[in-house]
Amino acid sequence: MRARTRTSMALAAALALSACAVGGHVSTMGQTFLPEMPGVDQQAAQRLIDAGAPRIQVTLVDRGTTSLLVKDAERQGVSRWRTIDNTQIFTRDGIVVGTRGLSFDLMSADTGGAAAAIRGQRAARIVRFHTYLDGDDRTRIQSYVCDIVPEGPQDIRISEGLTLSGSLVREKCYNPQGDYENVYLVRGGHVMATVQFISRGIGSLQIVFFS
């Protein structure tokens, strides 16, 4: 059996998995969660938190800003997560398939067989198709050939005093206009934490899933 190793997840910013709050302007370890926005139904978000709705903590890797998003809908296997100012991220099986409100959004993603290979920790080659809008609101599609590469058990240090154990899987994607790499920490067939490329304008998101 391969020995566990302690490593960094190659993330640009560490997440502080500490007390989360909705409404107001709450800061923990220098990170701001759900800043108050005028005209937004904060009570709806608070009710989801009070009801124990699943949450994700998302960091814009290039900018170092962190937000808490609450799951408020699921349809045909796609989960919608949002902040109180209605920034939205859509995931399927732990893989981002769309964003809204991030300025350079991923309108949709066809990720092929990536989810099954990543959650099953199996080597595979898949093809992705990402849809974006250009400056004239015209649809632009980017295709990528991606290699899924399992790396085995890892202990990933997320923040000071917190380490998550699981299996590390890399997704290396290639395109003539530029390559990128996604990273997933998987345990029990579920993605626990991940870094995923969204667009050239946004860069990558670091996501930690809370049950």
Please, what is the Cα angle at 176 between 64 and 174, to 5 degrees?
60
Tokens of 149: 């590469």
pLDDT at res. 162 = 67
pTM of the model: 0.79
- What tokens were used for 205? 């998101």
Domains in the chain, ordered, with CATH? Answer: 5-210 (2.40.360.10)
CB 187 within 8 A of CB 44: no
Segment 131-170, tens digit of pLDDT: 998 877 788 999 999 999 999 998 887 666 667 889 999 9
Question: What whole-number distance in Å separates Cα of residue 71 and Cα of residue 126?
Answer: 28
At residue 122, φ and ψ (nearest 5 deg) are: -120, 140
Q: Quick: pLDDT tens for 72-96.
A: 889 989 999 988 778 899 999 999 9
Q: Answer yes or no: are the C-beta atoms of 25 and 35 closer than 8 Å.
A: yes
Tokens encoding 200: 């050239």
